[in-house]
Amino acid sequence: MIKSAKTPTRLCVIYRTTRSKSKDRYEATKVSKFMEEFDKYLEEVVEKFGAPMICGDFNFHIEKKEDQCAKNFIALCESKGFQQHVKRPTHIAGGILDLVLTLKSGSDALLIKDLIVEVDTGTTSDHHLVYFDIPGHIPSQAKRIKTIETRDVREFKKMEMEEFRHDLFCSLSMAQFASVDQAIEVYQNTVKHILDKHAPYVTRNFKINQSPWWSSNCKKARVDMKKAQRRFYKNKDDTEAREIYNEKCVDKAIIINRARNIYFNEKLYSSKGDAKATYKVVNHLLDKEYGSKKLPHCNDDALLAEDFKTFFDKKIKDIYSDIEKKSLALEGSNTNDYVQHQQEFTKLAVFREVSVEELMDLAKDLSDKSCELDALPMWLFKASLPELIGIIHFIVNESLKTGTFPSQLKTALIKPSLKKPNLDSDILGNYRPVSNIPYISKLIEKVVHNQLIEFLDNQMLFSKYQSAYRKFHSCETAVLKIQNDLLIMMDKRNNAV
C-alpha cells in the first residue's frame, strides 16, 4: 500500500511466464488459463481498499494489432474498467511487454504523469526501466509517531448496575403520561438523566487506526525487538547480538500472530449462526469491505449530506407516486371477480394488545446493534429490561390501539451505501439508503409484523410458492423446489427448461 494524495494506492506486481519445462507446467501457463485467473483477479482487486495500480511483465506483444492474444488481453482489461499507459517498447528486441494498468474513471482512478521508458538501465536485464509519477503524500516524522483522536465516551465499566437499575425503577414507576408521544418523551429524558448520573461523558484519547487485537504484549514484543535491533546494528560482527535479534524477531512475529488469530477466532465464534456478521468478519480479513464505505468527493460534509437527502427524498417520492398510480389502475379495473375475492376473507381491522411476557421475548431476540438515537445501548437495554418493560409495554400497546406511530420514533439515521464496490462513488444513483432506527421502533415493527404474518397465514393469503418473508422459507427452499420439479420432470422423461 502506498499513501497517495487522494486515496491509498494498492500496488500489484504481476509476472506471466511463457517458459515451460514440462507439459504440466505448459498447461498451467496457457494463455486461456491466465485470462481466466486474471479476470477473477481484476474483479477482486477493485473491491479491495486502495486505488489499484497493476504493473509487471505480461509477455503480451500489445503493439501487434494482429496478435489475437494481445487483443483479448486488452479487451479484458477495458471490460473491467482498466487502461494501459505504456506506449513505447520495453524490451531490447522490441515489443511492449511491461505494462502499467489503472482504472479509467471513478474515485479510484490514478493520475499517471511523466511516464518514461529508460533504455539504459545500467543492468544486464533485457527489459527497459519504466518509471512514472503519481500524486503522493509523505507524512512528516512528527505525524508518523502518534496520531491521537479525542472523543467523549461513557465509562460503562465503572457503572454500578444495581444502583442504575434501582434509579430506573423508581423514576419510571412514578412517571405519568397520557399519550404515546408523552411516554416516549418521558422515557428518553428520564433514561438520559439517570445515565448521565451513573455514567457521565468523559474525554479520552484514542489512537487512530490501531488494530483492535493490538495488546500490551504485542507492544512489549515490538519494543524488545527494536532494542535488540539497535544493539545489533551498532556492531554487526557481534554474533551474540545477531542471535538475540533473530530470536526477538521470531518472538514478535509469534506473539502478534497469536493475538491476531485469537481475536478473529473469537469474532467468528461469537458470529456463529449469524451469516451477516460472519461475512463481515470474512470480508474484513479478505480486505473487501472498503467499497461499501466510499463516499462522493466533497469538501463540505453538510453540503454532501444535503445532496444525499434531496436525492433519496425524490427517489422515495417517485416510488410512492408509482404505487399510487398502480393502485388507482387496480381500483379502476374493479371486476366482479376482484370484489368477490375481497369479500371471501376477514379483514384485519385492529391489532391485538401484546402481553408483557411476549414483549420481553421479542426484546431479547433483537440484535445487539444500537442506534445513536437510542437512549441506551442495546446491551444495557436488555440488562435493564425488567425495569423498563412497564413503559415500553405502554408505548407498544398504545401505538397499536390508536393506530399511530410515535412521532419521535419516525426519525432515522440514513447512511448511504455503495451498491457495488466497483461503481463510481461520485454518482449518487449508485448508492442505496440504509436506515438505522431506535430499538423501540424495531419492537413496534416486530409486533405488527408478527400479527400481520399470523393473519395472512390463518387466512391462507400467502401465495403457494412464496418463499420471501415467510417462516421456514428462504432462497434455499425456493431453489430446492425448482430442483425437485426438474428432477421429477426428468424422471417422467419430459422436457424441462
Q: Check: CB of residue 27 under 8 Å from CB of residue 33.
A: yes
Q: How far is CA 292 from the centre of its chain?
A: 5
| 86-95, 293-302, 335-344: range with lowest mean pLDDT | 335-344
Considering only 136-140, 199-203, 412-416, 492-496, which range has the smallest mean pLDDT?
A: 136-140
Under 8 Å between Cβ of 49 and 4: no
Count Cβ atoms within 10 A of the Cβ of residue 195 and give its class: 0-12 exposed, 13-18 middle, 19 or more buried: buried
Helix (H, G, I), strand (E, B) or coil at 292: helix
3-state class (DSSP) for residue 50: coil
pLDDT at 55: 94
Residue 167 identity: D
Cα–Cα nearest to 212, from 262, 154, 254, 282: 262
pLDDT (mean) for 116-124? 84
Ramachandran quadrant class, 180 (left: phi over 0; alpha: psi -120 to 50; beta: rest): alpha
Tell me: pLDDT of 280 over 90. Answer: no
Predicted pLDDT of residue 423? 77
229 burial type by CB count under 10 A (0-12 exposed, 13-18 middle, 19+ buried) = middle
Per-residue pLDDT tens over the stretch 403-456: 889 988 999 999 998 887 767 788 899 899 999 999 999 999 999 999 998 898
- Integer angstrom CA distances of residue 418 from 313, 426, 464: 17, 10, 35
pLDDT averaged over every residue in the chain: 85
End-to-end CA distance of the chain: 48
Nearest one of 247, 497, 451 to 353, comparing CA atoms: 451
Q: CA-CA distance, 430 to 416, in Å (whole number)?
A: 9
pTM beyond cutoff 0.75: no
Overall average pLDDT of the 3-31 stretch: 69
Please tell me the least confidently modeled range out of 6-10, 80-84, 240-244. Answer: 6-10
Count of all residues that appear for the chain in the document: 497
d(CA 52, CA 451): 50
Residues near 35 by beta carbon (within 8 Å), at least 6 away in sequence: 72, 73, 76
- The residues, ordered by sequence, that sit 6+ positions from 61 with a Cβ below 8 Å of its Cβ are 67, 70, 95, 96, 97
pLDDT at 333: 63
Name the most confidently modeled range: 197-211, 274-288, 477-491.
477-491
- pLDDT of 98 > 90? The answer is yes
The mean pLDDT of 354-368, rounded to a whole number, is 91
The yes-or-no verdict on residue 277 having pLDDT over 90 is no
pLDDT of residue 192: 93
Confidence band, pLDDT 50/70/90 cuts, at residue 143 = very low
Above 80 in pLDDT, residue 290? no
For the record, the C-alpha cell of 255 comes out as 506473539
Q: Is-contact 36 73, C-beta < 8 A?
A: no
pLDDT tens, position by position, 464-494: 888 887 888 888 888 999 999 999 999 998 8
- Angle at Cα 96 formed by Cα 90 and Cα 99, nearest 5°? 85
pLDDT at 329 over 60: yes
Show the 3-state SS of 181-225: HHHHHHHHHHHHHHHHHHCCEEEEEEECCCCCCCCHHHHHHHHHH
Are the beta carbons of 318 and 450 closer than 8 angstroms? no
Residue 145: the pLDDT is: 47
Per-residue pLDDT at 336? 53
pLDDT range class, residue 378, cuts 50, 70, 90 = very high
Beta strands in 318-458 (DSSP E): 413-418, 431-436
| All cell numbers assigned to 246 | 533473530
Residues of the chain above pLDDT 90, percent = 41
Question: Region 282-286: what's the mean pLDDT?
Answer: 80
Percent helix, percent strand, percent coil in the chain, to nearest 5: 50, 15, 35
Position of cell 535479534? 245
What distance in Å separates the CA atoms of residue 58 and residue 16, rounded to the nearest whole number? 5
Helix (H) or strand (E) holding 55: strand 51-57
Cβ atoms of 438 and 374 within 8 Å: the answer is yes
Question: What pLDDT does 357 receive?
Answer: 94
Residue with cell 437512549: 375
pLDDT tens track for 39-67: 989 888 887 777 889 999 999 999 988 88
Mean pLDDT of 326-353: 69
Specify the pLDDT at position 110. 76
Say how far apart CA 410 and CA 221 lie, in whole Å.
Answer: 51
Strand partners, 127: 91
314 vs 305: CA distance, rounded Å: 14
Average pLDDT over residues 396-408: 91
Whether residue 132 is predicted with pLDDT greater than 70 in this model: the reply is yes
Band of pLDDT at residue 18, cut at 50, 70 and 90: confident
What confidence category does residue 144 fall into, taking pLDDT thresholds of 50, 70 and 90? very low
Mean pLDDT, residues 271-289:
79
Name the pLDDT band for 287 (thresholds 50, 70, 90). Answer: low
Strand, coil or helix: what is 171?
helix
